[in-house]
Chains A and B, each alone.
Chain A
Amino acid sequence: MPVISINKKYLVSLFPESATQEEIMSHIEKFGCSIEAETADTINVEVSPNRPDLFGAVGLARSLKNFMHKSRKYSYSIKDGNTYLSIEVGRRVLKIRPFISAFVAMGTSFSDDSLADLINFTEKLCETYGRSRKKMAVGLHDLDKISGELTYDAYPDDKFVRLGGEGEEFFSEVIKNTEKGSKYSDIIENAEGLFPALKDSKGTISLIPILNSERTRTTTKTRNIFVDITGIDGETIDNAADLISTVLMDAGAEVRPVEISRGSKKKVTPQLRHRELFIQSRMAENEIGVRVGPQNIVSLGNKMGYEAAVVGNRIRFTVPPYRMDVFNEQDIIEDIAIGYGYDYIQPVPIPSSTAGQLDPRMVFFREASEAMLGLGFTESMSTFLSGEESNFADFRIGDYKETFGSDFDYVKLKNAKSQSITMMRTWIMPSLMKAIGASRHEAMPQRLFELDMVFWTERGKPVERNHLAAIYVDSKSNFNSIKAAAEAFLEWADLEMEVERADHSGFIEGRCAAIVWKGKKMGILGEMHPETLRNFGVEEPASAFEIDIDGVFEASRRPV
C-alpha cells in the first residue's frame, strides 16, 4: 500500500477556516485511508493504490472537503481553450516510448511546502501508477525558461546541463553517473543507441524518463509551469494528464492546453473527460443491503465527489476527470457504501440455511493424526520448502533420478531470497530430521510425526501429495520399534500391508523395508544410517517411517 507523507500545516491551509485539524484527521480514517504515523509537522497516510488522486495534499483535501461537506466541486473545465504550446512528435521515438501528453499551468505561486507536495505527488504517481516510470513518467518545467515550440523524439547522444549538474554532459554520461540514471536506464535500454528527449529551440529540456534540464528547473519563484507526461500506454498518460491538471487547478492555477502533433495527426491535452454512469438506486441498495432512497443516494454520491442527479428512474453520476479507478457501476456502488459509512451498515444474515460438509480426506487425516498422538508421537508442522542438501544429499542420495526414475524431478524455485531454500520437499523426513537435530538437548525419548504435503513433478506435471512420517529417537530406538509403530498405525487404518526388505541409502543396509499394498510400494521404514544422523546433528539412534497417506486413504475407502 502506498504511504504518503503530508505536511499538516499545508493540508489544513487547503480547507476553509471552519475545519479544524482534529476534524480533518478523524475523517481521513472514515474515508478509508489510515494514518500510519504522525509527527509534529507531518502525517503519513496509507492510501489505496487504486486512488492515485489522493497521493498528495491537494487531492486528499479535495476529496475530504466533499466528504466533510465543506465544499462542492465536481467538475473541471478550461477557461481559455486556445492551445498555448505545441509539441511535434518525431518518428524515431515511436518504437521506444511513443506517447506524450502535456499542458501548461499559469499563475502558480508556490511556497516551499506546496512545491514539495506537488513534486512528491508526481513522484509517487510515477512510481505506482507509472510502474516506476516505465509505463508513465512526469516532468515539471518552468514554462518561462522554455523558448519556442517543442519536439519529442529519440536522438543520438547529445549534451545538456542536467538538473543539479554543473556543466554540459552527454546523455550517456548522465545515465551512467547519476542515481536516477542508473535507476531508470533499463526503461530505454532497447533504444538502439538513441535517447528519448524533449527539446526546445535552445536544446534539450528533458532526457526522458530520467532527468530534466537545470535550465527549466521549477522553483518557488516559478509562476508558470509546463508539464509533460510520456509513456508506453496512451490511455494511462491521458489519464495522468487529466489528473495532474485538476491538481494544479485546485492549487489555484489556470490550465491551458497543449497541442501534440504526429505528422498530420493532432490531439489536444488535457482532455478533462467527465464520464457519465447511470445506476438504478434499487440496484445500489440491493448490492449494499441498505434502504436509503434515491435522494440520499444522490447526496452520498455528492459526498464522494460525484455530481449526481435523479434522471427518470435512474441516477446519473458524473465521474470527475481525476477518478481513473472508476470502471463501471460497481466502483460507484462501493463509494456509496463508503459514503454511507461501513460502521452504519447493519449486518444481515443470509436467510436460507445450508448443511455443511467436511472433506472426507481431511476427516481421515485428522483421525490418522489422532492415532499417531495415541501412539505417543507429538505433531510437528514445517515449511514445505527445502534444499537439495537436506532433501537428498544428507540422506546420501546421490543421483535422485537413479533413485526415483527418469520421469521424476523435483519442484525447483526460480528466485528464492534465502540460499538454503531451492526446492519443495519431496518427502517429510528431512523436515523431521531437522527438527530432531535442533532439539538434541531435549529429553529422550523423542517421538515426532508430521502429516502434510510433499511435491514433485512427473514428466513435467506437478504432483501434490500428502504423506505421513514419524520418527522415534532414543538410545533404545531400532528397526523393530518403528516397525511396531508403523504396523500399529496400519492396523488402525485396517489395511493389510506387507513389509518387504528394501534398500535406501538414508537407512542402514538390512534394516530398511518397504511398506507394500497389493504390490504397490506405499512407504518406507527403517533405522537411520549413522551418517544421515550425523548430517542432521542427531546424536542418538533414530528409526522412522514415511507413508503415502493419500494412498492409505484411497485404499481404505470402502464402498458404502
Chain B
Amino acid sequence: MHRYETALLGTLKEGVWTEASDATARSGLGRESFLWAIENLYASGYIEVRKVDHETVELTQEGKEYAASEMPEESLLRRARNGRLGISEMRNPREQIGLQWARKKNLISIDRGAIELTKEGRSALEKGTEEGNALRLIAKSPDNYFELAKSDSQAIVNLVKRGLVAIRKKSEVAAITITEKGSRAFAEGAGSENKIDALSKEIIANESWKEKGFRPYDVSLKIEPEPVAMMHPVRKTINELERIYLSLGFTQVSGPIIEPAFWVFDSLFVPQDHPAREMQDTFYLSNPEKISISEEESVQRIKKAHLGSWGGSWAPEYAEQALLRTHTTNISVRQMNTTIRRLFAEGEKPELPVKLFSVGRVFRNENIDYRHLTDFYQHEGIVIGRDLTFANLFSILISIYDQLGMEIRFKPAYFPFVEPGVEFYAYSDKTKEWIEMGGAGMIRREITGMPRKNISVLAWGPGLERIMLLKDPSVKSIAELYNSDIGWLRRRKRV
C-alpha cells in the first residue's frame, strides 16, 4: 500500500462518513495526491465514496498556453507593430488563428499583403485584447469567470466558443468511509511508512535496508518522458550519402556558396539571356554586388563557347554578378578545371579516374510559406577519366541509389552543359508514382576544354530532400524539414 493510501485510511472510521475536506486536512495530503489515493482505494474496495455535482470552469490546454503567454492575435499585433510583417509569413496554424481573429476583431487591416494595425489594434497592443484580458483573469481564479458572466461579457462567450475555456459538470467527492476490507488492509499495511523511500550512501554502508525493506513503487504511474537529444534528420541523410560516396571510392570536396554568375551559369553553358538566370528564381546580391573573374583562366574558353553556340554577345559584367548558388555544380566545374589543368601542366599529375563528390546547400528565391523553401541540399558527383561512357554513368547512379534502397529509371533530358543528358526517377510507395530525383550527363567538351582528347567527365547533381520524402514515412513535405520545431525534432522516431 502506498503511503498516501495509508495516510488517508488512517483518518477514516468504519461506519462513519468523513467529509472530503476534513479527510484531506487530516491526512496532510495535497489535492492531487488525495484524489489519486481515493481512486486507488475505491478500486481496491477499501473505501465507499459519496459524490456531488458541481459546475466548474477550467482552462483548456490551449487556453493555459495562451494565458501563460499571449493570445495568437496579441502575438500578431506585437510582431506587426512596426508594419513589416507580410500576410504570407503567417504560416503555422497558430499564426493563422491569430490572423483570423485579429481581422474579425478589426485589429488589423491588410494592404497589399502587408499587415497594418488599426486604431483598435494599437490600443489592444497596449492594453491587451478583451479576450486576452478575460482569459488571464480566469487563469488567476476560475471564480472570475462567474464574475464576468454577471456582466454579460461577450469575451467569455468567445473564449468558450474558441475552446480556450471549458465549462464542465464535474462530480466531486463529498464524503468517504472505510470498508471492512479497508480496515483489515490498513491494519496489515501499517508501519510500511518505515520502509525505505530513497536509497542513500548511508543506507548502503550501514545495511539498514536489510531490516527495513523498500517501499514499492507503483510501476504503472505515468511519468513525463525525457526527450532524446537527436541529430537532425537532414544531417543523418547527409551522413548516409557521405558514407555511400566513400564506399564507392569518391573523395569529398566543397566550394563557395556566394559566387559570381560565371561559375553558376556561364561555365555551365547557360546563355546570358536564359530565363533561368532571371531575378525571380535566383538571389542576386547587392553586397558584394560583383565578384571579379579576371583571374579565372577558363574565361576565354567559356566566352568562345558561348559566342560560338548561342550567338549574340557575351558580357563579362553579367558573369561577374554576385549571387547565391542555385546548384552545387559550381563545385564540380571548379574541381574539373583544376584537375584538367593539372593533367596538362608540369608537375605531379592526378591519377585518373578522379572521383569527387560534395553535399551542399543551394538557394532558390521563393516566397516563404508552409510549402516553399529558400534553402535546399544537393548531392553532387563527378568522374573525370579516360574512355568513360554514358553506360558508366548509369552504373554509378544505380550504385548510389541502390545503397539508398531505391530502384531508379532513366529518361532523356536536356541540361545546357551536358550531352547526352539524363533525368532519373525513383518509385514512391507513398504516392505510387515515379518521382524525378535529379539530372545527370556527360559534360560538354566545350566546357571541359577537351575537344579531341578521350578524357571525359560524368556529372550528376540531384536533390537531397526528395530522398527523404521517399524514404522517411514521417516526412510529409519538404518544407517542414528546416523549421526546427523542437516538438517535431523531439517526437521523431527512428527510421
Contact = CB atoms under 8 A, between A and B. Distances in A.
Indicate, yes or no, whether A interacts with B. yes
B283 A348 contact: no
B89 interface: yes
A345 B442 CA distance: 15
A32 B414 CA distance: 9
Given A131-B275, A373-B230, A415 B365 contact: yes
B13 interface: no
Contacts of B395: 347-350
Nearest to A389: B84
A333 B419 contact: yes
A287 B258 contact: no
A345 B289 CA distance: 46
A376 interface: yes
A448 B353 CA distance: 42
Size bracket of the B interface: 35 or more
Interface string B239-266: 1001001111111111011100000000
Interface string B395-436: 110110000000001111110100111100000000000000
Nearest to B454: A286
Interface majority SS (helix, strand, loop, mixed), chain A = loop
Interface stretch (A146-154, A161-169, A246-254, A380-388): A380-388
Contact of B392 (A232, A349, A410): A349
Interface centre among B230, B252, B322, B398 (most CB of A within 10 A): B252
Interface in A230-258: 232-236
Given A354-B353, A376-B229, A446-B486, A345 B413 contact: no
Interface stretch (A5-13, A106-114, A311-319, A356-364): A356-364
A349 B353 CA distance: 13
B414 to A, nearest CB: 4
Interface stretch (A116-124, A434-442, A504-512): A434-442
B129 to A, nearest CB: 17
A413 B323 CA distance: 8
B391 A461 contact: no
B36 interface: no
B34 to A, nearest CB: 26
B235 A379 contact: yes
A231 B88 CA distance: 40
B368 A418 contact: yes
Nearest to A352: B353
A417 B366 contact: yes
Contacts of A354: 249-250, 353, 355
Interface residues of A, number: 98
Interface in B451-495: 454, 456, 481-487, 489-490
A323 interface: no
Given A48-B413, A287-B389, A350-B396, A359 B252 contact: yes
A62 B231 CA distance: 55
A380 B489 contact: yes
A442 B258 contact: no
Contacts of B242: 358, 362
A269 to B, nearest CB: 17
A382 B482 contact: yes
10 contacts: A343-B409, A346-B391, A347-B394, A354-B353, A356-B355, A366-B239, A381-B232, A412-B285, A412-B286, A414-B283
Which 3 pairs, one residue from A and one from B, show the smallest C-beta to C-beta distance?
A289-B389, A289-B391, A32-B412
Given A48-B414, A414-B289, 17 more contacts: A50-B414, A51-B414, A234-B311, A287-B390, A289-B392, A331-B419, A338-B412, A345-B391, A379-B230, A379-B231, A381-B235, A382-B482, A383-B373, A383-B375, A385-B363, A441-B487, A443-B224
Interface of A: 29, 31-32, 34, 48-51, 128, 131, 134-135, 232-236, 286-290, 327, 330-331, 333-334, 337-338, 342-343, 345-350, 352-359, 362, 366, 369, 373-385, 389, 409-421, 424, 431, 434-436, 438-443, 446-448, 453, 455, 457, 460-462, 464, 537, 539
